[in-house]
Amino acid sequence: MNDEPPSRLDLLRFARRVVVQQAKVAVAQIDRWIAVEERREAERRRGIEARPPAPEWLLERGLSGRDAVYVHVGDCWNGGKRSKGIERDEARRALADGVKPCPQCRPDSALGFLD
């Protein structure tokens, strides 16, 4: 049996083997993280592509949910959470029935009610 301690060269070779093994494990973990992130990104892009188009016009309801408060152009920043998409004819009808046009996006001008 050999009772001599390992040489510095033996210890350095052992340390190298350990580092190489750990590096392989680390690279494999990073590769798994990359694969997961690629799947997430692909799913996000599919979700964006599958979104329905934004409505051209919005009808904003009051707090009660019954009364119409404003008509908005579809991309109005002031549309609010109580707004739903409507067709052009519905927007014209709402304005004709006395629903106020949004003072920011001016749907009445876009619909030809005012010039």
pLDDT per position as a tens digit, 32-81: 999 999 999 999 999 999 998 889 999 999 888 788 999 999 889 888 88
Average pLDDT, the chain: 90
Q: How many CB atoms lie within 10 A of CB 70?
A: 24
pTM over 0.95: no
Please enumerate in sequence order all residues whose Cβ is within 8 A of that of 95, keeping only pairs 6 or more positions apart, or say none.
71, 101, 107, 108, 111, 113
Residue 88: per-residue pLDDT = 92
